[in-house]
């Protein structure tokens, strides 16, 4: 009897070890990523949140840019400050369906090499659970040693979470992939872009880069800085944009996410980009014009 128990124990040990080798992030994953900024960045009550997002979308316009929508650049501040700007990007995907929506942000909670891929079953908001496309997540994690899953990076991160209610309200049968970059390097962004295009071949996918622009400058100075940054993004030149940020001429917190988007566009042949809406926190009634944060809604089209 002891012999059989020993065999059974060794079998389970071997099974656990095999799972760790084949999918190192599996044993650390959680079934659902709980909301971290509900009630702070956006309403925590379901119907209030639904009305909030619907109102923002109602006052946004459709773009006249023709072609296959490839990617969005959207802000990630509290809705009272940036929701009306984000809605301009999201208005363009209304009534669309996707095999996956891939949301890329920069970690605000710490530095690490490469990217952390959110290996959850779903992202929870007051509107329900946004399902993760776990097949794409697993494929992405196997693409490079710089891709891992760091739960602490995702747990309190707002840049991805605030995109969910817009997507949940607009996209039917929503399936997402969430990516947080922990550094700002051409290697990480280029590797991520190449890997994402490889695993999504033949699929209908939307890419989203989450970023705010300049932080805490006086109103007029912020507008000047932000328009310079937007102009650098508009060139669709990832290396030029990278140099602009490194030289501190461009300012944005989601620099790695935008750099990845520009590499994605370059590799996919997406050559049209349009600024739909620019504003900053000084443009809302409660905003302080002495210290503002900039926001832009942009789209990229193939």
For the chain, list the domains and their CATH numbers.
Answer: 30-301 (3.40.830.10)
Could you read off the pLDDT tens digit of each residue along the chain, which spans 302 residues?
A: 544 444 444 444 344 334 433 444 444 456 999 999 999 999 999 999 999 999 999 999 988 788 899 999 999 999 999 999 999 999 999 888 999 999 999 999 888 999 999 999 999 999 999 999 999 999 999 999 999 999 999 999 999 999 999 999 999 999 999 999 999 999 999 999 999 999 999 999 999 999 999 999 999 999 999 999 999 999 999 999 999 999 999 999 999 999 999 999 999 999 999 999 999 999 999 999 999 999 999 999 99
Per-residue pLDDT at 37:
98
Token pair 């917190």 in the structure block, residue: 253
- Pairwise CA distance, residues 173 & 142, whole Å: 26
Q: What angle do CA 288, 104, 78 make, to 5 degrees?
A: 25
- Both structure tokens of 72: 């969005």
Per-residue pLDDT at 217:
98
Exposure string over 90-101, b if 16+ CB within 10 A, otherwise e: bbbbeeeebebb
Which burial class, exposed, middle or buried, applies to 76 when counting CB atoms under 10 A from its CB (0-12, 13-18, 19+)? buried
Per-residue pLDDT at 30:
60
- Pairwise CA distance, residues 271 & 43, whole Å: 37
Q: How far is CA 154 from its chain centroid? A: 11
Per-residue pLDDT at 29:
54
Per-residue pLDDT at 58:
96
Per-residue pLDDT at 9:
41
- Pairwise CA distance, residues 20 & 29, whole Å: 12
């Amino acid at each position: 009897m002891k012999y059989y128990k020993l065999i059974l124990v060794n079998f389970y040990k071997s099974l656990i070890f095999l799972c760790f080798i084949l999918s190192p992030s599996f044993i650390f994953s959680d079934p659902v990523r709980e909301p971290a900024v509900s009630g702070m960045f956006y309403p925590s009550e379901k119907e209030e949140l639904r009305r909030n997002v619907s109102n923002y979308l109602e006052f946004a316009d459709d773009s006249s840019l023709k072609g296959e929508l490839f990617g969005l650049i959207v802000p990630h501040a509290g809705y009272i400050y940036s929701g009306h700007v984000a809605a301009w990007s999201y208005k363009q995907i209304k009534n669309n369906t996707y095999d996956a929506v891939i949301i890329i942000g920069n970690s605000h909670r710490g530095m690490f090499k490469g990217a952390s891929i959110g290996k959850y079953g779903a992202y929870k908001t007051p509107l329900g659970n946004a399902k993760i496309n776990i097949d794409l997540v697993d494929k992405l994690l196997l693409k490079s040693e710089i891709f891992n899953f760091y739960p602490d990076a995702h747990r309190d991160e707002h840049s991805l979470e605030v995109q969910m209610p817009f997507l949940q309200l607009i996209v039917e049968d929503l399936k997402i992939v969430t990516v947080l970059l922990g550094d700002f390097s051409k290697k990480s962004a280029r590797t991520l872009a190449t890997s994402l295009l490889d695993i999504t071949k033949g699929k209908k996918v939307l890419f989203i880069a989450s970023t705010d622009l300049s932080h805490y400058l006086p109103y007029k100075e912020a507008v000047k800085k932000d328009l310079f940054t937007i102009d650098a993004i508009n060139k669709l030149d990832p290396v030029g944009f990278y140099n602009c940020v490194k030289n501190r001429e461009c300012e944005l917190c989601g620099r790695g996410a935008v750099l990845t988007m520009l590499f994605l566009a370059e590799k996919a042949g997406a050559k049209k980009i349009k600024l739909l809406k620019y504003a900053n926190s000084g443009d809302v009634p409660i905003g302080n014009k002495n210290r503002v944060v900039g926001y832009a809604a942009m789209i990229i089209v193939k």
